[in-house]
Amino acid sequence: MQKHLEVAIKAVQTASEICRKIQAQLVAEDAMTKKDRSPVTVADFASQAVICRMLNEAFPQTPIVAEEDAQSLRNEENRDILEKIQQFLPGWSIDQILERIDLGNGEPADEFWTLDPIDGTKGFLRKDQYAVALALIRNGEPVLGALGCPNLAFSEHDQNGTLMFSVKGEGTFTSSLGKNGRQKVTVSSNAPHEIVRFLESVEAAHSDHSLQAELMRHFGGRAKSVRFDSQVKYAVLARGDAEVYLRLPNPQKPDYREKIWDHAAGVIIVREAGGIVTDMFGKELKFCHGKKLTANRGIVVTNGKLHEQIITLLNR
């Protein structure tokens, strides 16, 4: 899987750099609104176009299942958005941009890529955390993942952003975004009687924060809250900077199911770092039921040492 990994890393790095440039210049009118009212930015489309092009050139037979499609860009009222995308993709024609974006309209198969070109669009618009998330799925399971986190400092002395990547059975590695070299990461070794850092979404609508707060009270003063947007939370937990990430069903949205591109890359990155990822009932996540995790409810991510206790507390 070496070629797959090399292409995935290069694609995520390239898209992350484009996103970084766009974020630096972003203004409010650069955002559109999809039918579900979530914002879409120039960066979403540029990122997807670049990554889909690189994946398709290297693996033309492998479908790509991505979040965006170019239908909205074909509307005349969004012509200015399309022209702004073109500014960040020099040498690309309008038709090439549209065609590359729509390479992400593939369907899940025995083997396919799944992509969120910007996970955490609202964080991106706030100039905060977001991730470029890419994973390879084989037989319903993530076997490769790459996360570009441009605003997540690699270290105290390196604010360049973080790249994290994994291949099944080979561990999880990280590097400063856009630089050579890599180092292995592992999850925190904290046990239930020690400090337990809970990762929470900045966007309250994404999870049941009241249930999480109730669970955190079980740990008393040992429970600490850390808020991040997007799959950056998976990267933070994988490198040992938190112990628990919960994505619990929102009671106001009982029929909602998580989308595969929102979790696939993060799942393998945490697992290969030594952590555990299941649904809220302790069941394995199934990436073989289309574009959503229809067989699962909620997501529980831990460093492993806390997993059984968290599942038990959630199902009392």
Residue numbers annotated as active site: 44, 121
Measure the CA–CA gap between 140 and 82, rounded to whole angstroms. 34
Length of the chain in residues, anyone? 316
Q: Tokens 């996970």 map to which residue? A: 119
- Residues near 141 by Cβ (< 8 Å), separated by ≥ 6? 168, 287
What single-letter amino acid sits at 21? K
Using CA atoms, how far apart are residues 197 and 202, in angstroms rounded to an integer?
15
Tokens 């555990």 correspond to 276
The CA distance from 233 to 268, in Å, is 13
The residue with tokens 């529980």 is: 300
